[in-house]
């Protein structure tokens, strides 16, 4: 009888513990939501700057889109891929990129602002995960412009293709785009984490970021070594081509596209583990 009572007590304790973890996650989510609302209020307080930044991002993307249009005015297809198909892949690439840019602003200046400047000491004193704090402490609202433009381009390309996207395709987009954004986040988080061991003032991130442009075209147009590199080494093929192939790549690439969230979890998970090791290696500046 006593053993049964102890078992019941243990079960109740485990239930309360699970519930407390859920409550803790909800509490942290509210904190990060408050971060975003506060940041948005601050940005909208200077509306002219906000509008100028948004227009600058849109102008840059429109220029890239114009270059793509000029290129296809000279050729009818690119290794069998038509202009509407390539346009759709380009539009899709902007959605996970916008999701990533929305929350990645602190990764680029992490070494200077957090490690050298001593802000990371404050982060470690709070009862919230250090990685979540760094990611959600500031935002880049221009990411919303990239998402909106990407969806608009996808819709326009879909019309050109005569495609009829249904509920399944909408669910696939909600499934694939965040998975692709995790690939972005994992790659650049890994680069950021190197700063715990080697001081890197924006040294690695810009050239790697420039390689994103290669992912906006069908990977089949590249040589085999480049395909391998973009698929398994620096996996930017998973941020645009492979997931977008669900919609425009036919059955050949459709099944591969479903692996995108798994790749995102693996890349981000590996970077998160490296982050934890970096935090353990961190030595305070004393400032």
Q: What's the pLDDT at 9?
A: 39
* More confident of the two residues 189 and 111: 189
CA distance 209 to 169: 29
Q: What's the pLDDT at 108?
A: 85
pLDDT tens-digit map of 223-246? 999 999 999 999 999 999 999 999
* More confident of the two residues 14 and 239: 239
* pLDDT-wise least confident of 15-29, 137-151, 192-206: 15-29
Full-model pTM? 0.81
Query: Long-range contacts: 44-53, Cβ < 8 Å, 24+?
Result: 50/141, 53/141, 53/142
Count of residues for the chain?
A: 287
Domain ranges of the chain: 1-40, 46-281
CA distance 269 to 216: 24
Cβ-based neighbour number of residue 224 at 10 Å: 7
Q: What's the pLDDT at 148?
A: 87
Q: What's the pLDDT at 241?
A: 93
* % pLDDT > 70, the chain: 79
81: enclosing H helix or E strand: strand 81-82
pLDDT tens-digit map of 34-88? 767 766 666 666 666 667 777 777 777 777 777 767 766 666 667 788 888 988 9
Nearest of 71, 30, 48, 3 to residue 217 by alpha carbon: 71
User: Could you tell me which residues are beta bridge partners of residue 77?
Assistant: 82
pLDDT tens-digit map of 161-191? 888 888 999 999 999 999 999 999 999 999 9
- pLDDT for 121 beyond 60: yes
């Amino acid at each position: 009888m006593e053993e049964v009572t102890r078992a019941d007590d243990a079960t109740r304790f485990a239930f309360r513990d699970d519930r407390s973890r859920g409550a803790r996650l909800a509490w942290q989510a509210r904190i990060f939501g408050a971060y975003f609302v506060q940041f948005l209020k601050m940005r909208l307080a200077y509306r002219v700057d906000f509008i100028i930044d948004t227009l600058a991002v849109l102008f840059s993307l429109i220029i890239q889109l114009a270059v793509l249009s000029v290129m296809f005015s000279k050729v009818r297809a690119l290794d069998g891929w038509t202009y509407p198909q390539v346009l759709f892949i380009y539009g899709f690439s902007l959605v996970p990129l916008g999701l990533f840019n929305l929350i990645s602003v602190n990764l680029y200046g992490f070494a200077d602002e957090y490690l050298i400047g001593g802000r990371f000491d404050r982060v470690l004193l709070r009862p919230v995960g250090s990685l979540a704090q760094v990611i959600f402490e500031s935002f880049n609202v221009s990411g919303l412009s990239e998402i909106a433009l990407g969806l608009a381009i996808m819709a326009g390309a879909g019309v050109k293709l005569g495609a009829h996207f249904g509920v399944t395709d909408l669910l696939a987009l909600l499934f694939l785009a965040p998975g692709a954004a995790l690939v972005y986040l994992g790659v650049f988080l890994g680069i950021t984490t190197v700063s715990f061991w080697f001081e890197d003032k924006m040294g690695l991130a810009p050239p790697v970021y420039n390689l994103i442009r290669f992912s906006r075209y069908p990977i089949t147009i590249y040589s085999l070594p480049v395909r391998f590199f973009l698929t398994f080494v620096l996996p930017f093929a998973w941020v645009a081509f492979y997931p977008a192939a669900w919609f425009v790549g036919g059955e050949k690439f459709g099944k591969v596209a479903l692996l995108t969230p798994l790749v995102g979890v693996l890349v981000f998970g590996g970077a998160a583990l490296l982050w934890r090791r970096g935090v353990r290696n961190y030595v305070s500046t004393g400032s």
